[in-house]
Amino acid sequence: MKKPLPVPTPDTRPFWNGLNEGRVLLRHCRDCDCVFHYPRTVCPDCLSSDLGWRQASGTGTLYTYTVSRRPTHPLFADEVPQYLAVVELDEGPRLTSTLVNVPEANITIGMALEPVFERHDKERITLLRFQPANPELRGAQAATQSAPATSLLTEDSLASIGKTGEAIRGYPVSVEEIRRFCFATDDLNPRWLDPAASPDGITAPPAFLSIPFDTDVPLAELADDGVPLAQQGLVFPPLKARRKLFGGYQVEYFQPIRPGDVLTRQRRILDVHERQGASGSSVFVLIEATYTNQRGEKVAVEVNTIVNR
Ligand SMILES: [Zn+2]
């Protein structure tokens, strides 16, 4: 999969066209002379719709920022740490962007910034990012980007695709456990709590699925990143990565979970693939878990994405 890119709308098209030409265009109000961003059809100051476009310098200062150490989406895992920034342009408007070509230690509120036009020629879209205006603050980051990439895969990593772990049986689902889960997650839907709410009685909320498989893990059996060193029924591909990040999950349900059910979970490595990015390599491991009940009926199939760095 590829990272999503902005889709210009009729209102924003001139802004994106400007970026393609290496220019930052801002909306300008001919009535009150203000400039503003994001592009709208009405001036936010005087409500006039007599608007034009004005070329901005593109330079500005860092108004605020946050360092995102976890990917906001698996497709962006190669960009962590990501420096999400609000940039105040010299003309006044602020816009949200990311800082590039800057070591974290050099980022300071108020620092002077200049635009970096990141072109995606095939899609005809240019993203507006920012870097320090002072070249001395840019560090060696640009140089490391072109350094030869180091792979986190081992010889056996890809061989684990398709491998299935042993089937693990969870502890029986009980009314009390469902109640505890609902109160802990603040999900007080009567379907989960009140036997009279549905003719079929209580069912467990969908997110309950993996609860019967949770067991206490002693601290000594946790890796540095907090993930248990050994996981029942999971064959994890051998990697040279040091950290695992949760990269999201999808579940397809086939039937509800009820008190008295005893679920069995079987996991399988669905895919292992590596992506090289500006901050190094990330290995995406997709793990499929199939849940069945005591009658052998399929209850749900879940796919977890684990990002390894
Ligand atoms: Zn105006």
The bridge status of strand 60-68 relative to strand 82-89 is antiparallel
Q: How far is the CA of 123 from the centre of ligand 1 (A)?
A: 34
Of the candidates 171, 174, 180, 168, the residue with the CA atom closest to the CA atom of residue 203: 174
Q: How far is the CA of 30 from the centre of ligand 1 (A)?
A: 7
| Distance in Å from the first CA to the final CA of the chain | 19
One-letter amino acid for residue 211 of the chain: I
Q: How far is the CA of 56 from the centre of ligand 1 (A)?
A: 17
Instruction: Write out the residue limits of the CATH 2.40.50.840 domain(s) in the chain.
Output: 13-145
Q: How far is the CA of 36 from the centre of ligand 1 (A)?
A: 9
CA distance 258 to 299: 11
Instruction: Write out the residue limits of the CATH 3.10.129.10 domain(s) in the chain.
Output: 158-308
Size (the chain), residues: 309
The vertex-77 CA angle with 73 and 81, nearest 5°, equals: 110
Q: Write phi, then psi, for 37 (nearest 5 degrees).
A: -150, 140
Q: Identify the pLDDT of residue 60.
A: 96
Fold (topology level) of 13-145: OB fold (Dihydrolipoamide Acetyltransferase, E2P) (2.40.50)
Per residue of the chain (309 residues), what is the pLDDT tens digit? 788 899 999 889 989 999 998 999 999 999 999 999 999 999 999 999 999 999 999 999 999 999 998 887 888 888 888 999 999 999 999 999 999 999 999 999 999 999 999 998 888 899 999 999 999 999 765 544 444 568 888 878 888 888 888 999 999 999 999 999 999 999 999 999 999 988 889 999 999 999 998 888 888 888 777 777 777 777 788 888 888 888 888 999 999 999 999 999 999 998 888 887 767 788 999 999 999 999 999 999 999 999 998
Q: How far is the CA of 37 from the centre of ligand 1 (A)?
A: 13
Q: How far is the CA of 244 from the centre of ligand 1 (A)?
A: 50
CA distance 180 to 183: 5
Q: How far is the CA of 169 from the centre of ligand 1 (A)?
A: 66
Q: How far is the CA of 72 from the centre of ligand 1 (A)?
A: 36
Q: How far is the CA of 179 from the centre of ligand 1 (A)?
A: 56
E strand or H helix at 100: none
At the top level of CATH, the class of 158-308 is: alpha beta
- The two most distant CA atoms of the chain are separated, in Å, by 73
Q: Write phi, then psi, for 63 (nearest 5 degrees).
A: -80, -50
Q: How far is the CA of 48 from the centre of ligand 1 (A)?
A: 5
Q: How far is the CA of 126 from the centre of ligand 1 (A)?
A: 28
Q: How far is the CA of 57 from the centre of ligand 1 (A)?
A: 21
Residue ranges in the chain assigned as alpha helix (H): 13-20, 141-145, 175-185, 190-193
Q: Identify the pLDDT of residue 144.
A: 45
